[in-house]
């Protein structure tokens, strides 16, 4: 057995290591600077209580993007030197973000050990490769992202760090082969266990969904299916789950080979970046040669996001979580005893609110970022939750879960088509959504993203929007001057959240303009970008009248969009005449 020594390495603080909405994300060229990753990892160890490090079992894996393999070796050596007992690594370093959460919560090692946390190496939906992004975040014992209390501490530590610990003579561990490698250090044995990336996650999915009924749907000749992993880590699960377990055709998988640079693409499942899927589903500009599949879905780099499509039909993520919540008890065995409650992030549309009201469910509105759902779930207050940013999930883990969302939709389709598979016409994705609107009303919704805007200009724009909030009469003058038939603003503020479980307060979580008819405009700066600033503009309008629920959403929202651009003076501040992405 190799015996390793612990070296104390001197270092100095590096600027800008403040974790954002979901961890630290920077260009690879920033991460590869001497001590950059090391400082952050040591600062994380130092932010945890000693028993979560010394003698502990930690998971280290990610979406497989460029620099992951090097980063895993660095973290293994530092963990050994910091007295960690065991590191668990998904084969080839691959684990989706939801799978890491599942592994922390559920997996039991061969020697009965359980993990108390883990590092996820991903920059999620940001592109990968030597010139693109890398990222790292820490998840806690409950399988969820570290709460702000911890991420603040990590950041403080990065500003004062003087030293880190490293097992310099520990050889690189082969992470391509399943098995355990053991080493001997000053404090005893240290193990690295490499395990199958999909087993634990698959087991969990089988305990939640009725795989038999989904299999009947997917193997029926009437139902056609397509899944696009955008070369992200979802590919490590898709074949196993959709093809081998559930009987989908292998040809229904697109871009399911994980790649370090995501094939040069932007692994973000939306109508702009999931081009191939969008075209195949008949949503592109030109008509596809073949009849589009009945159902299509995509994931982001780390497979926690999902986009759900029907034939020539797009399901907004805000509608998706509402529809899942409305159908969960009937269609998904895990929820058969009822939902404990539901939650959404603030900018997500109020479609879920209406379902919660109808079904008399507890309801919560939290700031953007999955970490805020965790406390509610740990306290047994929330079963299903979602974000407008293509994130949907439940209390089976503490991350959003892209494949879970697809299985949830397939379960709903299987349930609605139970008696139909031999019959004439299937109940389609579009039918389900239109039926939902007819019952609950429709929340027209769109998000405009202005990516890589000058950071100073973006800050100024936000400051002006906040200042404007002090005079609603001035606001309404602008509103009415732009479009007289747009409703009036009755309340404007910056969203502030008090966690109902631990009482912690999060301020400045987005600028809101709330209208008399329930419409909303929300402005936020992204916390996940790695360069410049990204301004997000969220626009929503509720329509209850069944005669008006089938309009084109961009058309229906055009007046509100115009108002938003006027209020924010967006073009003046940024010089942009059009958003980078519309979802």
Binding interface with ligand VG1 (CB under 6 A): 21-22, 124-125, 300, 304-305, 345, 368-370, 387, 389, 391, 526-528, 536
Structure tokens at 165: 């610990």
Cβ neighbours around 74 below 10 Å, total: 17
Among 268, 302, 353, 543, which residue sits at the site for Co ion (rule: CB under 5 A)?
Answer: 302
For the CB of residue 269, give the shortest distance to Co ion in the complex, in Å.
9
Please give the residues from 123 up to 142 whose contact with Co ion meets the rule CB under 5 A.
124
Q: How far is the CB of 243 from ligand VG1 (least distance, A)?
A: 24
Minimal distance in Å, beta carbon 125 to Co ion? 5
* Secondary structure class of 248 (helix, strand, coil): coil
**Nearest distance in Å: CB 298, Co ion:** 12
From residue 201, give the alpha-carbon distance in Å to each of 94, 205, 335, 401: 12, 6, 18, 11
Nearest of 99, 104, 139, 100 to residue 240 by alpha carbon = 99
The verdict on 294 binding Co ion (CB under 5 A) reads no
Q: Which is nearer to ligand VG1, 193 or 449 (CB)?
A: 449
Between 68 and 528, name the residue whose CB sits nearer to ligand VG1.
528
CA atoms within 13 A on the CB side of 397: 34
266 binds, among Co ion, ligand VG1, none (CB under 5 to 8 A by kind): none
Which of 133, 193, 268, 304 lies at the binding interface for Co ion (CB under 5 A)? 304
β-bridge mates for residue 441, sequence order: none
Residues whose CB is less than 8 angstroms from the CB of residue 474 and which lie 6 or more positions away in sequence, other chains included: 468
- Whether residue 286 contacts residue 279, with contact meaning beta carbons closer than 8 Å, is answered with yes
| Closest residue by beta carbon to ligand VG1 | 124
398 binds, among ligand VG1, Co ion, none (CB under 5 to 8 A by kind): none
The least distance separating ligand VG1 from the CB of residue 453, rounded to whole angstroms, comes to 13
Q: Which among 163-171, 189-197, 298-306, 344-352 is the span making contact with Co ion, rule CB under 5 A?
A: 298-306
Of the chain, the end-to-end C-alpha distance in Å amounts to 54
Query: Rounded to the nearest 10 degrees, how much is the dihedral formed by the CA atoms of 512, 513, 514, 516?
Result: 180
Q: Which stretch binds Co ion (CB under 5 A): 85-93, 286-294, 302-310, 316-324?
A: 302-310
CA pair distance 553, 445, nearest whole angstrom? 7
Contact assessment for residue 197 and residue 258, using Cβ atoms and an 8 Å cutoff: no
Give me the least distance between CB of 305 and ligand VG1, in Å please: 5
Specify the residue, 147 or 288, whose C-beta has the smaller distance to ligand VG1.
147
Element counts in the chain: helices (H) and strands (E):
18, 27
Q: Is 191 in the site for Co ion (CB under 5 A)?
A: no
Q: Which residue has the tokens 């969009």?
A: 561
Local structure of residue 170 (DSSP, 8 states): P
Q: Which does 391 bind (CB under 5 to 8 A by kind): ligand VG1, Co ion, none?
A: ligand VG1
Which helix or strand (DSSP H or E) is residue 58 part of?
Answer: strand 57-62
User: Do the beta carbons of residue 101 and residue 374 sit within 8 Å?
Assistant: no
Please identify which of the residues 68, 101, 116, 124 carries the catalytic annotation: 124
- What does residue 479 show for φ and ψ, rounded to 5 degrees? -60, -55
Tokens of 550: 């089938």
Contact 72, 137 (CB under 8 A): no
- Picked from Co ion, ligand VG1, none, the partner binding residue 387 (CB below 5 to 8 A depending on kind) is ligand VG1
63 scored as a contact of Co ion (CB under 5 A): no
> How far, in Å, CA of 40 to CA of 303, rounded?
24
Check binding of 353 to Co ion (CB under 5 A): no
When the beta carbons of 85 and 371 are compared against ligand VG1, the nearer one is: 371
Residue 468 beta carbon to ligand VG1: minimum distance, rounded to whole angstroms = 22
Which of 79/453 has CB closer to ligand VG1? 453
CB of 443 to Co ion, least distance (A): 24
CB of 581 to ligand VG1, least distance (A): 12
Residue with tokens 């626009």: 539
509 binding partner (options Co ion, ligand VG1, none; Cβ < 5 to 8 Å by kind): none
d(CA 370, CA 391): 9
CB closer to ligand VG1 out of 414 and 521:
521
CB of 191 or CB of 388, closer to ligand VG1? 388
With CB under 5 to 8 Å by kind, the binding choice for 63 among Co ion, ligand VG1, none is none
22 binds, among Co ion, ligand VG1, none (CB under 5 to 8 A by kind): ligand VG1
Q: How far apart are CA 64 and CA 51, in angstroms?
A: 29
Active site residue 519: no
Closer residue to Co ion, CB minimum distance, 304 or 540: 304
Q: Is 459 helix (H, G, I), strand (E, B) or coil?
A: helix
Which one, of 49, 161, 175, 52, lies nearest residue 121 by Cα?
Answer: 175
Stretch that binds Co ion, among 70-78, 292-300, 405-413, 468-476 (CB under 5 A): 292-300
Helix (H, G, I), strand (E, B) or coil at 470: coil
> 448 near 536, Cβ under 8 Å?
yes
Nearer to ligand VG1, 185 or 402 (CB): 402
Which option in ligand VG1, Co ion, none does residue 499 bind, with CB closer than 5 to 8 A by kind?
A: none
Supply the residues annotated as catalytic: 124
Which residues contribute to the site for Co ion (CB under 5 A)?
124, 300, 302, 304-305
């Amino acid at each position: 057995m190799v015996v390793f020594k612990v070296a104390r390495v001197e270092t100095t603080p590096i600027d800008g290591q403040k974790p954002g909405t979901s961890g630290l994300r920077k260009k690879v060229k920033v991460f590869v600077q001497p001590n950059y990753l090391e400082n952050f990892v040591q600062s994380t160890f130092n932010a945890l209580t000693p028993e979560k490090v010394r003698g502990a079992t930690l998971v280290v894996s990610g979406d497989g993007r460029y620099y992951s393999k090097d980063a895993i070796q660095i973290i293994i050596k530092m963990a050994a030197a910091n007295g960690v007992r065991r590191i668990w690594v998904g084969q080839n370093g691959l684990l989706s973000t939801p799978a890491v959460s599942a592994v922390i919560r559920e997996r039991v090692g061969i020697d009965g050990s359980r993990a108390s946390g883990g590092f996820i190496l991903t920059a999620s939906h940001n592109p990968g490769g030597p010139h693109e992004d890398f990222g790292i975040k820490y998840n806690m014992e409950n399988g969820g992202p570290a709460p702000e209390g911890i991420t603040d501490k990590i950041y403080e530590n990065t500003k004062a760090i003087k030293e880190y610990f490293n097992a310099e003579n520990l050889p690189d561990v082969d992470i391509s082969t399943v098995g355990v490698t053991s080493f001997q250090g000053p404090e005893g044995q240290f193990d690295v266990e490499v395990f199958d990336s999909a087993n634990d996650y698959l087991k969990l999915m089988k305990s939640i969904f009725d795989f038999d009924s989904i299999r009947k749907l997917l193997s029926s000749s009437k139902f056609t299916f397509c899944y696009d992993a955008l070369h992200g880590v979802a590919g490590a699960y898709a074949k196993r789950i959709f093809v081998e377990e559930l009987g989908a055709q292998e040809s229904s998988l697109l871009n399911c080979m994980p790649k370090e640079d995501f094939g040069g693409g932007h692994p973000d499942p939306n109508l702009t970046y999931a081009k191939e899927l969008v075209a195949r589903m008949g949503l592109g500009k030109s008509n596809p040669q073949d009849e589009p599949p009945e159902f299509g879905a995509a994931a982001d780099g780390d497979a926690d996001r999902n986009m759900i499509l029907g034939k020539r039909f797009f399901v907004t993520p805000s509608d998706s979580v509402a529809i899942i919540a409305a159908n969960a008890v009937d269609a998904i065995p895990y929820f058969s005893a009822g939902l404990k409650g539901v939650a959404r992030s603030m900018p997500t549309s109020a479609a879920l609110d209406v379902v919660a009201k109808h079904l008399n469910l507890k309801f919560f509105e939290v700031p953007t970022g999955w970490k805020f759902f965790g406390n509610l779930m740990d306290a047994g207050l929330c079963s299903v939750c979602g974000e407008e940013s293509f994130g949907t999930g439940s209390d089976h883990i503490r991350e959003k879960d892209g494949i879970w969302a697809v299985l949830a939709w397939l379960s709903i389709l299987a349930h609605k088509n139970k008696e139909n598979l031999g019959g004439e016409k299937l109940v389609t994705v579009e039918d389900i959504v239109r039926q939902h609107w007819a019952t609950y009303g429709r929340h027209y919704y769109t998000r405009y993203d202005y990516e890589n805007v000058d950071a100073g200009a973006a800050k100024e724009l936000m400051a002006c929007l906040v200042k404007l909030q002090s005079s609603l009469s001035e606001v309404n003058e602008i509103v009415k001057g732009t479009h007289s038939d747009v409703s009036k603003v009755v309340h404007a503020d910056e969203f502030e959240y008090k966690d109902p479980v631990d009482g912690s307060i999060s301020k400045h979580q987005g600028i809101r303009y709330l209208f008399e008819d329930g419409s909303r405009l929300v402005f936020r700066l992204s916390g996940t970008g790695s360069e410049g600033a990204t301004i997000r503009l969220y626009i929503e309008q509720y329509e209850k009248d069944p005669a008006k629920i089938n309009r084109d959403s961009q058309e229906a929202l055009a007046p509100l969009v115009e108002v938003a651009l006027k209020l924010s003076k967006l073009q003046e501040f940024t010089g942009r005449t059009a958003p980078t992405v519309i979802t």
